[in-house]
Structures are given as structure tokens and as C-alpha cells.
Structure 1
Amino acid sequence: MSVLEELPRPEIYEFTSQMRRYSVSIPSNIAEGSARASRRNFAHFITIARGSSAELQTQLILPLRLGYLSQEDYDGIESLCLSGAYAQQTLRINAC
């Protein structure tokens, strides 16, 4: 069972829809940026991906505070988000 499936029914659609959009947006922006002709464009799309990462992290805090997500599950997902944010920052630095 995924963490998202543990949310109460009324909240499932809202949280899962937004989390999935942000999760898809992150690698999509990195891919689009890497296909651009310049390093400056690539850096711009990495910045957009980092914004989506921040939005995803915010969407994780809300179910945690509302008691729909355990601290253990939150910590595991947050660790992945932070690793991804670090990788995005490294890509951005290398793109400049």
C-alpha cells in the first residue's frame, strides 16, 4: 500500500493529484532543460524543477500535520526529496 492510499477518501484526490503533478514536473523540467540549446536555459529549467520539489515538500507537510501521514513515512519521503534537491542544485551549478 502506498503512503498516498492511506489518506482519508475526501483528501486522497486533492493531495495525491497535486503530489503526482509535482513528482512528474520535477524530472520533466530537468529533461526539457537538458534538451535546450544553452546552459542558461538548462539552469532555468533546473530552477523550475527545484520549485516543484519545494511544492512537493509542502504537500507532504500538510498530511503530516493533519495526522494522515506518519512521521516515519514523512521522514523517508523527505529524505528522498532532500537528496533530489541536492542533485538539482548540483546540476544547476554545473549548468552555469
Structure 2
Amino acid sequence: MPRDNELHSILILGAGPIIIGQACEFDYSGTQACRALKEEGYRVILVNSNPATIMTDPQLADATYIEPVRPDIVAQIIARESPDAILPTVGGQTGLNCAVTLAEEG
């Protein structure tokens, strides 16, 4: 997929601590998303409530928030960071539910 030059910063929603046996898939996909987006020159903003994940490595994102992936918290981060896009899919059901609620609330 070609780079979209209208986008400069992307907010990635992590899955947080989840069920044993499922965490590695979300950590891997989220980590790869962070790396790929940074390589393409995007500013990466990460929200993940799991401090033990490799995704929260300071080298993977330009800004990392270890906060609950909840609509009220993420809305505050959006207001502070003004991302051009949100990538919730690597956050599993937690990220998707948060993004849907944010979209419904405007």
C-alpha cells in the first residue's frame, strides 16, 4: 500500500493485558505495525495498558501512553496528540470496541 502523504501521525490502540495464549498474537502484530509505520515516516502514538508488552518499548513509538484503552482516556490522548488516523485492529476486541465507541460519540 502506498504512503498517504496527508497522514503524518497515527494512533495505535493496543490490546492491554488479555487472556493467556492470545497476547502474543496482538503483541506481534502491534509491534510490526509500529515498526512498519515508523519506517514509512509516520509519527506513531501508542496507547496500551500492558506495560509488560514489547509494544511499549520506547524505540517502537514516538509517544507511548501506558493507560487503559478506554474511550474516555483515548479521547484525552487524541485531544493532546491530534493524530491523523487511528489503527485499532492490532488491539483486538479492546481496541475495536474503543474505536467504535469513539466514532459513535463523534
TM-score > 0.5, shorter chain as reference: no
Higher relative strand content? 2
TM tier, shorter chain?
A: 0.3 to 0.5
Higher relative helix content? 1
